[in-house]
Structure 1
């Protein structure tokens, strides 16, 4: 009985070896890595992704609308004037009738929120690509409790790779000392798997998308 079982096993092995091995499927390197975006409109896809990762999204159809939205935001959050160091943003806020702080006085103690521009917005992940190339530097997107971004619909791209190419096209070989993808508020769950916001950066992230009028807002 043992011999016949052994013969049966060997027979199955010989039969398997006699058949050609199945080759693994060949990858299609030309195929896209990700499926299509949930929305055919990249701006809508970004807004959905941005809110899904915890960001607060506001659409502004005009400068007056932006002024009203920022004023309402300030009242809801019960904060003072934002720190704004970029000349282009300062000019827009003056036109919109929004007060801001252009200096660095009491920045450490009073930096409740900041307003900066960005390089690009990523529809796939809801990420905001910021750099240290503007007058905001590194501090305004990292230190304040609440980071507010002002951007245009034309800055929305589909994928992270597209956003990096935008930065590369703008700066060439003179890349800024810091380029960062911000995806939602700063958070961690390292300690006992308890989610903590504001662990390594702003506790809240908001974005005001101002309708395009042909003027860039991230150029000095």
Structure 2
């Protein structure tokens, strides 16, 4: 047991410390952005870089002929692939203009769904993500079920942050939001089993995006 003098000295130090508490850190500004703002004029460039960094394949197209050339280059690496399933009328017209073969129906879809080609709702520059929904004619299946997913988009669809993309959806659909909204960041992959990376674990194992010039008018 410490003697009274030692006890008194210890208690005095404790009282002294309590009289001068450590100052608390400043309260964080929860309204401030977590990341520095992105350059508004270069959002498409930032998106393309982050999209490719996450494993996506990026192609810029200035015309239907340019799109056809890029698609031919894509398929040249896998000559056994059948034409993609395309269920959105606007995209069907685009491919018809570019003289690119596609499958408009759903015949043997589950057995032969190597490729699905869809539009998207938005592109997120910060993460290189593609936001798709069930509101298009592609529905839930065409962006998830095929082994490979092709996306056609425009630079005007690029937004800076995920929150911007979700706000765009709210503004567009209001209370009638689609039953499925999905952010796709690169090909589907997992390394849950023995830290071995596996592509296509729960979605397409290959993701390619074809960015059409905003000035390209379909049917022209």
State the TM-score, normalizing by the size of structure 2: 0.91
Calculate the aligned-residue CA RMSD, in Å: 2.0
Question: Following TM superposition, by how much is the alpha carbon of 1:113 offset from its aligned partner in structure 2, in angstroms?
Answer: 0.8
Give the structure 2 partner of residue 19 of structure 1.
20
The answer to whether residue 40 in structure 2 is matched with residue 55 in structure 1 is no
Give the structure 2 partner of residue 44 of structure 1.
45
Tell me, yes or no, if the aligned pair for 1:187 and 1:196 is still in contact at 8 Å. yes
| Number of equivalenced pairs | 216
Give the structure 2 partner of residue 71 of structure 1.
72
**Structure 2: 5+ residue runs without aligned partners?**
none
| DSSP-derived class of the 1:140 partner | coil
State the TM-score, normalizing by the size of structure 1: 0.91
Distance 2:51 2:117 in 1: 17
Distance 1:117 1:39 in 2: 23
Question: Following TM superposition, by how much is the alpha carbon of 1:36 offset from its aligned partner in structure 2, in angstroms?
Answer: 2.8
Question: Following TM superposition, by how much is the alpha carbon of 1:38 offset from its aligned partner in structure 2, in angstroms?
Answer: 7.8
Question: Following TM superposition, by how much is the alpha carbon of 1:167 offset from its aligned partner in structure 2, in angstroms?
Answer: 1.4
- Runs of 4+ more than 6 Å apart: none
Question: Following TM superposition, by how much is the alpha carbon of 1:62 offset from its aligned partner in structure 2, in angstroms?
Answer: 1.7
Question: Following TM superposition, by how much is the alpha carbon of 1:174 offset from its aligned partner in structure 2, in angstroms?
Answer: 1.3
Give the structure 1 partner of residue 99 of structure 2.
97
Give the structure 1 partner of residue 182 of structure 2.
180
Question: Following TM superposition, by how much is the alpha carbon of 1:32 offset from its aligned partner in structure 2, in angstroms?
Answer: 1.3
**1:215/1:9 Cα in 2 relative to 1: closer, same or farther (>3 Å)?**
farther
Tell me, yes or no, if the aligned pair for 1:39 and 1:45 is still in contact at 8 Å. no
Distance 2:22 2:77 in 1: 66
